[in-house]
Structure 1
């Protein structure tokens, strides 16, 4: 896996055992449980079974139009999402050169073994027009969980750990009690990396460069596309 934004630099003290935490979360979620965990953009809920994934959706009181994201990473995106050469260069510029978090909407390869045992209700709730959403640069923990997900072909799906419309939570203690009550395991890393923005990730539909959500580092992302690729993002659908 590539180094991510939460990875310690070589020689730095190992303050967090990301591998152990990822295995703990993976084992609970693979067994049908629900986890609350930090990504660089906020605290998130994660599940894999039909009951747990739909429980997240229902308990958050989400609108039917909202999707649940596939547990993502750069490795996951490369394995299951389909983008053209230009889109790949743009995504690399944002996430690998500038190392910014980014929600990527793109068509997904449902014939990948990762989806062999995913319940049809989850697929219906997580897909729109053949696309899925993944978060890139969600951090070392998310990357490791996504790696285990691909290794064992157990798809995991997530959403922000908050009641719908109540805003992303950047510390575990700020997550509503009724949301925390859903969790079989919690991982607490304190305030997340991008908490100062007070927003979640920017999301772009890479089929046509439509902005689905204006979020973290939107101005930088917009500048990268305009300056280096002569691409003007389409009018945001939601701020």
Structure 2
């Protein structure tokens, strides 16, 4: 019985000519050009690799998809790492088969995801991201601030509390200290629903009734 699975053998035969061409090439530039001219073959080389390493059909196709991300951004890129974070079963398989060695235990997932988000949405070159990202000591505050801003608005009480409570972050952002004290902001958040109800009322009688029903 052959050591190579049938699926891998069939794909190897299908692309025999390209494998032979590749073996005859002498430079990285020539090999790169051959791969770029034959994307189906490149996908199938990854299928062969996966089949040879006891992958299920789902893992095989995911390994091909991961390869496309690697080709576009590089194996060590934020995009490639986020792909593995989003596909843990593939990552686990690749580690078990020793196709990958980095288990991701020291990756900073929030930073990786914001890297990818900014590169996609803002068109920022990842090489220049250091100028945009906060120092490590305020990174958690930075991500919390962004989450609150997207959920409640950048002038929300939630964002103002963060600015009022973290001088280092506020200075890094170049923003002023909020006028409202933290204690007042906290109470405003606590009673947000009532404030919103109050703003919708049209008569003094309605406002008075709401106040009387909520003495706290």
Structure with bigger gyration radius: 2
Identify whether the pair has TM-score above 0.5, normalized to the shorter chain. Answer: no
Q: Which has the higher helix share?
A: 2
TM-score by structure 2 length? 0.22
The structure whose RCO (Cα within 8 Å, separation 6+) is larger is: 1
Q: Which has the higher strand share?
A: 1
